[in-house]
Amino acid sequence: MSILVLGGAGYIGSHAVYQLIDQKSDVVVIDNLQTGHREAIHPEAKFYEGDCRDIEFMRKVFSTESIDSVIHFAANSLVGESMQEPLKYFDNNVHGTQVLLQVMQEYDVKKIVFSSSAATYGEPNSIPITEDIPTNPTNAYGETKLTMEKMMKWCEQAYGIRHVSLRYFNVAGARESGEIGEDHSPETHLIPIILETALGQRSHITVFGDDYDTPDGTCIRDYVHIEDLIHAHILALAYLNNSGKSNIFNLGSNQGFSVKEMIETARKVTNRVIPEKLGERRAGDPSILIASSEKAATILNWHPTKNSIEKIIQDAWNWHLNNPNGFNKDVSNE
Ligand code: UDP
């Protein structure tokens, strides 16, 4: 029996495939390579190139492979873009998940681990954020993730498909052994942008606002190492395999760091000059997001081991230093 990883060529999905293969699982990957990289797919995974909205393609994969459970990463995930093009997000994220659930129901696959987001909460009314606070997304991306969660809830009632929804906080870092890492185009995330600046690929990092109600005025986020994050997916699959009921878990580190602290730490880790400039606030950025991951600790037995920001930045830096052009080896770095 195989585990199907949708979006297994993307940043988070590819790290999941590597860890699943480390633990000797059979893995089938589906990816449309819209934002993923062929080079990021583990060579031992069985790869189908196609789109999860294409029901005939999905039926072909489900009828060819013997799929036991699904981990679903395939989604568009840029907050800013989701505000400009919400329908693209509803189509790919929500409709794509609808087709996936339809095919799971047809082929009697009853377990899914789903990549959700802290963006489902919006501006939280209390910190740290627990799973029971109200969900009020402030952007279309977060709304699609919440809608996907709700769709799964009804599919459980109707078809008995159990799900674990994992609400990620700020995922960063790279696989320790260095084969894969983060490579987005365009890049919008803080840590890769800081490291591209350290490499001299950008002249500076722009700090989006320093007048927030935080100690140094810059936004505070909760960073979680990609390897720890993926380990939670493996525990979530084990939980579903042990008849666990559908559930939602935050994945963070229970600690927050400001944008300025992240830049300062990156200067120490890389030992490079990282010029910064002050810019405007970015629309839709909440001032502080810190997870409580107590629930994942208690129920899934998830205990992150790599959650110092030095470690997260160090592993991301190793990847950037060795792969300054990401997966595109042909581009010269002159
Ligand atoms: N940020 C920044 N400059 C950048 C990119 C991000 O100041 O070039 C800030 C952003 O405003 C937020 C934090 O860094 O407060 C983390 O942003 P990111 O896009 O990495 O993740 P998000 O919190 O949006 O999921």
Note the pLDDT tens digit of each residue in 88-113. Answer: 999 999 999 999 999 999 999 999 99
pLDDT at 14 over 60: yes
As given in the structure block, the two tokens for residue 324 are: 């300054």
User: Is ligand 1 within 6 A of the CB of residue 290?
Assistant: no
The pairing of strands 257-258 and 220-221 is antiparallel
Task: State the distance from the centre of ligand 1 to the C-alpha of 150, rounded, in angstroms.
Answer: 27
pLDDT of residue 332: 44
What pLDDT score was predicted for residue 48? Answer: 98
Residue identifier of the C-alpha nearest atom 4 of ligand 1 = 190
pLDDT at 167 over 90: yes
Ordered alpha helix ranges (H), the chain: 11-22, 55-64, 79-84, 86-89, 96-106, 140-159, 190-198, 226-241, 259-270, 294-295, 309-322
**Which of 169, 184, 190, 207, when mutated, tests ligand 1's pocket best, judged by the most ligand atoms within 8 Å of its CB?**
190
Active site residue 141: yes
Residue 272, amino acid: R
Q: How far is CA 172 from CA 98, 103, 263, in A?
A: 28, 32, 14
User: What pLDDT is attached to residue 125?
Assistant: 87
pLDDT digits (tens, 9 = 90+) for 258-288: 999 999 999 999 999 999 999 999 887 889 9
* Alpha carbons 53 and 59: distance in angstroms, whole number: 11
Q: Is the CB of 195 under 6 A from ligand 1?
A: no
Q: Determine if ligand 1 sits within 6 Å of the CB of residue 40.
A: no
> Which pTM value belongs to this model?
0.96
Model pLDDT, residue 330: 55
Where does the pLDDT of residue 331 fall: very low under 50, low under 70, confident under 90, or very high at 90 and above? low
- Please indicate whether residue 187, judged by its CB atom, sits closer than 6 Å to ligand 1: no
Q: Which of 83, 189, 196, 229 to mutate to test the pocket of ligand 1 (most atoms within 8 A of CB)?
A: 189
SS3 288: strand
Q: Tell me: the pLDDT tens digits for 24-73?
A: 999 999 999 999 999 999 999 999 999 999 999 999 999 999 999 999 99
